[in-house]
A and B are shown apart, each in its own frame.
Chain A
Amino acid sequence: MDEKVLTRHFGVEGLFRIDVYRGQGGYRAVETALKRMTPAAVLDEVKRASLRGRGGAGFPAGVKWGFVPQNVPKPRYLCVNADEGEPGTFKDRYLMNHNPHLLLEGTIIASYAVGIHAAFIYVRGEYEAVALRLEGAIAEAYRNGYLGKNILGTGFDLDVAVHRGAGAYICGEETALLESLEGKRGHPRLKPPFPASVGLFQCPTVINNVETLSNIPFIVQNGAGWFLKRGLPKDGGTRIFGVSGMVKKPGIYELPLGTKLRTIIFDHAGGMKEGKQLKAVIPGGMSAPILTADEIDLPMDFDSLAGAGSMLGSAAVIVIDRETSILDVLKAVAKFYSHESCGQCTPCRIGTAWINKIVKRLARGEGEQDDIDAIVRLATNIKGKTLCPLGDAAALPILSICQKFRRELEGYLPHA
C-alpha cells in the first residue's frame, strides 16, 4: 500500500496546473460531493474519517463543521489557515506550492458541506510565491467552473480569495487571524463565542488548516474507511512531518499517523548528520515540549505525544544534536515568543519578555543562582492564564527544557 496521499503526486511535473492536476484524478471529489452527495453526507463522511485538525490543536474537523449553525440568516465563511508560522513547520508551504488545486478542492467540498459561499485563504505574509501560486490556481479554477456561480451546474456558488498576512505569528491563532482578515490588529479574541458561531465579520466561520482541507478530497473520493486505514482509529489519515535540524535529509515526509519518532528521524530523514549525536527532539513545532534522546520511541500521534507530556502540534520535528547548547535552544525559544507575543494580555506580554531578559543575561555569562528557578516560576505563571494559546506555547517548551536539561543549564550559572 502506497502510504502517501497528499504528497503522492508531488513528483509530477506542473502539478500546480489544473490540467495536470485533473490528469491525476483531480477535482473528481468535487464532482462526487456536489453531484452525488448531500452536504450532510459529506459532513458525515468527514466525521467518520476522524480527521483531526493539522494546524496543531488536533480538533476533529467534522465536529468543528458541525458546530456551525445552519439556521441563522447571516452568511457563513470558511477561512483557510495558511499562516504557517510555527518555527520548524513548512509542510503547508510545500502543499500549496506543489498542489494548490488539492487545497482548493478541499475548500470547495468543505464549503459545500457547511453551506458556505465565500472562503478566504489567509497566507503567511512571507509566503509571497505561495500566494501567487494560489492566485493562479484560483483563476484556473474559476475558468474551469470549479469556483464562482453555479459550480459544475449544481447550483452551488463559491468565491475564494487569497489574503496575505503581514508576518505576525499570532495571526495563525484563529481568532487573531479573523481580526487580521477584518483589517484590524491581529489580537486574539476572547472565547467564547467561538468562531463557529461568531467568527469573521461576526458571522459563523469555519477555520481549517491547509493540510486538514487537503485531506478532504481523498475522504470524499475513497470513503472514511479507506482514510481511517491510513492512520489510527481515532486519528485518521497520514501526517506530513517536517523534519529539520541535524539530520541528513531534512524535508517533509508524509507518513501514517502513529509512525515512531525514531523511524522518522533515522529511517526517513536519513539519521543524524555525519558525526552528530542526537540530544533532543522538539516533535511538534517549537511550542511542543522537548523530548530527550531517550524518548524517541514514541508513536507520532496526538494521544501518544500528549501522554508523554508533549504534543504532535504541527508535526514539525526539530532535531537537536549534542553539540548544540541547550541554552541556545532556550534562547531561541524565549526570544521567539517574546518577539511574537501580541502584547494583549499581561502574563504573556510581560512574562515572555521577562524570561527572555533572564535568558539573555544567562547567555552573557551574568547568570545568578536562582535564574532557572525564576524562569520556571514565570513560565508556570504564564501557563494556563493567558488569553490565547500563545502563552502556553511559550511556557510549555520553556518548562520542559528547564526540567529535562536542568543540569546542563545549571552549568551556565556562576559556581557558588
Chain B
Amino acid sequence: MPKIFIDDRAVEVAEGLTLLQAAESVGIPIPHFCYHPAFPPEGSCRMCLVEIEGLPKLELACSTVVKEGLRVRTMSPKVVEARKSVLEFLLAEHPLDCPICDKAGECKLQDYFEEYGLFKSQFKEAKEKREKKFKLGRNLILDRERCILCTRCVRFLNEITKTEDAGILNRGIHSEVGIFESEFIDNNYSGNLAQICPVGAITDTDFRFKTRVWFLESRESICPLCSRGCNIIMDSHAGYPRTLPTRRVYRVRARQNLDVNFHWICDYGRYGYAYLDEGREDRLVWKKGDRETRLSWDKAAQILSEKIRSLVHLRKNSRIGIVLHTNLTNEELFLADRVFRKGLGVEKLFLADPPPGKGDEFLLTADRTANRRGLQEVGLPVQAPDLKALSGLDLLLIFGHYLAAGTSPSDLKNALEKVETKALFASHKSGLDGLVDFVIPVPVIAEKNGSLTNIDGRVQPFVAGLSFAGDGIAEWRALLDLARELKVEHKYFSRLASPEAIYRALRKEIPFFK
C-alpha cells in the first residue's frame, strides 16, 4: 500500500488507485465532471487538476495513479484558481437557466460554483445558441446549451450498452452530443443517461417538470421487479408540496453496488414504479354475499385463526391450502414454512407467481419476481396451483394476486366457489377480489422491512422506504399474529417480533443464510 501525502496528511491507499479515488477514499473530495467510476479516465473537463510536488503543471487527479511518496495539494491557491477558471469557462457558455432546470439542486455545476466559484461573470459576448429540447431517446431530452461535453453519455452507450448510439458532432465551440438522425436511443438502460449526466443536459421526461429535487426524500431500497435485486434509491415526496396527491415516488435511481448492479438499473425497473400507487388494495373487508364489512386485522386474524384451529382440531390439516409467491421476503417465506408446514402440518403449499418476461444479457432477468432464490434456499416445498387441488379445500389463504393470471376466470371462479373460506393477502386489486371472503391489503417490498435473495444468491436486507398506510398488515406480521392466536410454539414465535429477529432465526437454522 503506497503512502502518499494529500494536503500534508499522510495516508496509505490501495495500490493502483488514481489520486481522485485515493483522495475520495480518505474523505477528501476532488471536484470532477467527466470522471465516472464506471469508465476509464477521460480527462477532458479539467476540473480535477491538482498540484503534485515537483511537477511544473497541474495534473489530473482522475488519471494520475498513486505512487509511493507522492505529495499532492488539492486546495492550494493554484488549484483553487484553476477550478475557478474551469467553472468560469463552463458557465460562460452555460444558459444559467437553473430556475427552470430539473437538475437544479443536484447539479455538479451548481454545487461546484457554490463551493469553488462564486465569481462575478465577466462574459460580455453572445452565448452560442443551441438546441434546447432535442429528443435523444425514449425518455430523454437533451439540452445542448446546458451540456458541458463530459461525454459520460457517449461513453455509457459505447461501453455499457455497447450500442454506440451517440457521439460528439462538430468541433470546438460547436461540439455537441448527437445521434444519427434516423436513430434514437432506445435500450433498456437509457434512463441511466439522465442519472449520470452531471448537469441538466439530459433530463428524463418521466421526471421533467414534475417536482423539485429538494422536496424529495431519498430512501434506499431494492428493486423487486426482477430477480437481480438491483440496489435503488426511491425519491419520494414526504409531504408539501404534493402536486399529485396520488403519487408518492417521483423517481427511482440506481444505487451503486458493484456486486449486483454496478452503477446502473434497467428502464424496466426505473420507470416501473407506478405499481407503488396504482391499483392498490386499501380496505380490509369481509364479504358475505353482496355485503362488505370493513374490519380490523385483529378481528380478521381472530376469525381466520378460529377457522384454522377448528380444522386442525378435526385433523383436517389437509383441507387447508396456502398460496405463496416469490415476492415475499426471506423472512416471510421462512415464517410461512415454520407456521404452516412445521407448526400446523399444512402440506398443501402452492406457488402462484407473475409470468416471466424477457430478460436481457445485462441486469434484467426473465424471472419477474424478487425472491425465487430465497424460496429455494428456505426450502419450501411448493406445488403449482392446480385448480383441482384447490377446489374442495375448506380454507385457502392466498398470498399475492397472481393466482388470477394464467387461469381462465371462470375456471378459477368455479374452483374457488368450492372452497369454504378464502382469504386474500394482496397488495393490488385483481380478479381475485370478487372471489374471496376476506381481502387483506399488504404492503409492497418498498413499504416493509426484510431481505431478498437475488438470482446469484446474494441476500440483501432493506428497510421500508415508504410508509404503508390504510388497513392491512405486512405478511410477516400477519403470519406471526396467526401463530400467536393459534398458540403454535409460542416460545419460539414470540421471540421473532421483527424482520430482524426472524432473519436471525433464519441464519441460525438454515446454513445458506449464514
Contacts and interface: CB of A to CB of B under 8 A. Distances in A.
Contact of B46 (A340, A347, A353, A354): A347
Interface stretch (B81-89, B133-141, B286-294): B81-89
B168 A350 contact: no
Interface residues of A, number: 31
B125 A346 contact: no
A223 interface: no
Nearest to B93: A350
Interface stretch (B170-178, B219-227, B329-337, B423-431): B170-178
Contacts of B43: 190, 345, 387
Interface stretch (A56-64, A115-123, A378-386): A378-386
A127 to B, nearest CB: 20
Nearest to B167: A185
Interface stretch (B57-65, B381-389, B470-478): B57-65
Contact of B44 (A338, A346, A368, A370): A346
Interface string A31-46: 0000000000000000
A218 B63 CA distance: 41
Given A347-B86, A354-B92, A381-B88, A386 B171 contact: no
A347 B85 contact: yes
A314 interface: no
A346 B170 contact: no
Given A343-B171, A344-B44, A357 B125 contact: yes
A361 interface: yes
Contact of A385 (B85, B93, B123, B173): B85
B148 interface: yes
B162 interface: no
B92 A345 contact: no
Interface in A332-380: 338-347, 349-354, 357-358, 361, 368, 370, 374
A385 B92 contact: no
Interface string B288-321: 0000000000000000000000000000000000
A385 B56 CA distance: 11
B171 A342 contact: yes
B172 A346 contact: no
B173 A343 contact: yes
A168 interface: yes
A32 B382 CA distance: 85
Interface residues of B, number: 37
Contact of B172 (A339, A357, A381, A386): A339
A352 B172 CA distance: 9
Contacts, number: 97
Contacts of A350: 89-90, 92-93, 173
B89 A190 contact: no
B149 interface: yes
**Dominant secondary structure of chain B at its interface with chain A:** loop
A345 B44 contact: yes
A381 B42 CA distance: 20
A351 B89 contact: yes
A358 B57 CA distance: 27
Contacts of B175: 342-344, 349
Contacts of B63: 190
B167 A385 contact: no
Contacts of A344: 44, 149, 168, 175
B89 A381 contact: yes
Contacts of B149: 343-344, 346, 349
Contact of B123 (A354, A370, A384): A354
Given A190-B63, A347-B89, A381-B89, A361 B125 contact: yes
Indicate the member of A339, A370, A385, A386 with the most B CB atoms within 10 Å.
A385
Nearest to B45: A346
Given A185-B168, A384-B57, A346 B90 contact: yes
B95 interface: no
B42 A190 contact: yes
A416 B42 CA distance: 46
A387 B89 contact: no
Given A354-B89, A354-B92, A384-B57, A341 B45 contact: no
Interface in B27-50: 41-47, 49
A318 B176 CA distance: 35
A289 to B, nearest CB: 18
Interface in B72-121: 82, 85-86, 88-90, 92-93
A413 to B, nearest CB: 14
26 contacts: A168-B171, A185-B167, A187-B168, A190-B43, A190-B60, A190-B63, A341-B171, A343-B149, A343-B168, A345-B45, A346-B46, A346-B89, A347-B46, A349-B89, A349-B175, A351-B89, A353-B128, A357-B125, A358-B125, A381-B89, A384-B58, A385-B46, A385-B58, A385-B85, A385-B86, A387-B43
Given A344-B168, A374-B122, 9 more contacts: A342-B175, A343-B149, A343-B170, A346-B44, A346-B45, A346-B89, A353-B128, A384-B57, A386-B46
Interface of A: 168, 185, 187, 190, 338-347, 349-354, 357-358, 361, 368, 370, 374, 381, 384-387
Enumerate the 10 nearest inter-chain pairs by beta-carbon distance, A residue then B residue, closest first: A343-B175, A353-B173, A381-B85, A357-B125, A350-B89, A341-B172, A190-B43, A345-B44, A343-B172, A384-B57
